[in-house]
Amino acid sequence: MDSKSGTETPQESGVEFFFNSAPPLKDRDQISQKLEVFITKISRSSESGKPIRVVCVTSGGTTVPLEQRCVRYIDNFSSGNRGAASTEYFVKAGYAVIFVHRWGSCQPYCRYLPQDSFLDFFDIAENSTIKVCEPHGTVVKGAIRDYRKAVEEGFLLKLSFTTIFEYLQILQMVATSMRCLKSHGMFYLAAAVSDFYVPWENMAKHKIQSAEGPLDMRLTQVPKMLLVLRKDWAPAAFCISFKLETDPDILLQKADMAMQKYGMHVVVANELATYKREVSVVTSGEKTRVCSHGQDHDLEEELIDLLVARHSEHIKKPSGIDMNE
């Protein structure tokens, strides 16, 4: 709201329009119930000891459907590997993770499984049972153990999305349900989120016909939800957004801009050509490079360590809620 005129800002009306025109989430009630159970369990465990921190990790790319009965869509680049790896390291650091991921993208504790030759992992033993071929057995055993432990102890909740409509509605639900955690909540927004979309009511109902000739399509800008998240949905939480660019000359400048414009506590800046090997962690007044030490080393290990330390500082501050801290 513009405090002088008392009217909605263009950002606010864009957000309202987006949510009012989005097709309702099919499994809203189930998601809401899962979130309630997860957060209640964490809050109860926190009451009886050290408060447990919760992070919402978003991962994978959102799609923009071009038809209501969707045959074609615009996609966003992201395998989900960063989000999946980060989730594992957050759980290891004692965080409960709400993993909001693109359906079918890379999953925590499954990163070592081959995508294209899944069957090469297995063999048929003499007694006709299925066995995991060595040397993969040890990795798979460890992954199964860690995954089961995370889920059974209530440290991992997975929620999936495909479209930009689903992603932003789920993010809003997660954020408002995490509001009660105050500064112990964290958002780690690694998903690749569409910047443009076709509003549901403007969208062709059926498959667009090529016989009608070349296609002219006007895309509407997706409102940036970072500001709303920070200001309204979960104002006390610690917020980390990502900045992906292909031009290294504008990357850090854009990351700085995101910090100031959206009130992010940290922006992780990465460049498409090197994002697996290197990221820059930008906070107000400081830039830290985090690099991978080789093919088998996840840069997320060091990245999460650094972010956990920053989150601890945020929790200690009495002014965690202030947007202009």
Interface residues for ligand PMT in 21-50 (CB under 6 A)?
Answer: none
Contact pattern from residue 274 through residue 313 relative to ligand PMT, giving x for each residue in contact according to CB under 6 A and a dash for the rest: -x--------------------------------------
Stretch that binds ligand PMT, among 12-20, 112-120, 124-132, 190-198 (CB under 6 A): 190-198
Residue 242 near ligand PMT by CB under 6 A: yes
CA distance 113 to 14: 41
Neighbours of 127 (CB within 10 A): 6
Residue 187 near ligand PMT by CB under 6 A: no
Residue 244 near ligand PMT by CB under 6 A: yes
Residue 191 near ligand PMT by CB under 6 A: yes
Residues in the chain: 325
| Cα angle value 168/170/173 (rounded, 5°) | 110
Neighbours of 213 (CB within 10 A): 7
Interface residues for ligand PMT in 222-241 (CB under 6 A)?
Answer: 222, 224-226, 241
Is 72 within 8 Å of 215 (Cβ atoms)?
Answer: no
Run of H or E including 280: strand 278-283
CA distance 140 to 109: 9
Identify which of residues 82 and 311 has a Cβ nearer to ligand PMT in the complex: 82
- Minimal distance in Å, beta carbon 66 to ligand PMT? 17
Residue type, 53: R
Cα 71 → chain centroid: 25
Interface residues for ligand PMT in 193-212 (CB under 6 A)?
Answer: 193, 195
Contact pattern from residue 70 through residue 109 relative to ligand PMT, giving x for each residue in contact according to CB under 6 A and a dash for the rest: --------xxxxx---------------------------
Cα 52 → chain centroid: 20
Residues in contact with ligand PMT by CB under 6 A are 78-82, 189-193, 195, 222, 224-226, 241-244, 270, 275
